[in-house]
Amino acid sequence: MTDKRWAFEDFVQDATIPLGSKQVDASEIVEFAEQFDMQPIHLNEEAGKASILGGLSASGWHTVSMFMRLICDHFLLDSTSQGAPGVEYLKWKKPVLAGDTIRGEATILATRRSASRPQLGFVTFRNSLYNQRGELVLEFSNTGMFLLRNPELAA
């Protein structure tokens, strides 16, 4: 038996896991961009304002990384996670701007036991990230792999 709060059995189809919120500040947008996505719209307020994004905007990859941190903080680090085989789709719906407060949630779309590894299950999530106005800014779907709490008892 695992001492982790979240094992495969704890993920129920159609349930939504709230992931909390985070304020996005300009310095972290620039810091991420300097290392990983050096486009001017992510490095300079004026370049961002001159673009269709309307201000200093987080890189889409930075937005995904911030969402990953919310997942880690709210359930993944206290789970039996064994990683993920990939992302089914990823859509950046609106820019995340300096000063925004983002809020995430993960909805469980499906669960299934592994046919080849009875101690393992697959959980498919639809992940959503919203800004302070309730606008969807990021949506993606992925499947995670989780150990069962008691594989010998599971049907």
The domain spanning residue 19 has which CATH number? 3.10.129.10
pLDDT of the residue at 123: 98
**Cβ atoms of residues 84 and 143 within 8 Å:** yes
Q: Which domain holds residue 73?
A: 8-147
Confidence (pLDDT) at 155? 55
How many structural domains are present in the chain?
Answer: 1
- Residue 22 in domain: yes
Residues of the chain with pLDDT under 70: 1-2, 153-155
Of 143, 56, 127, give the one whose Cα is nearest residue 96. Answer: 56
Q: d(Cα 146, Cα 141) in Å, to the nearest integer?
A: 16
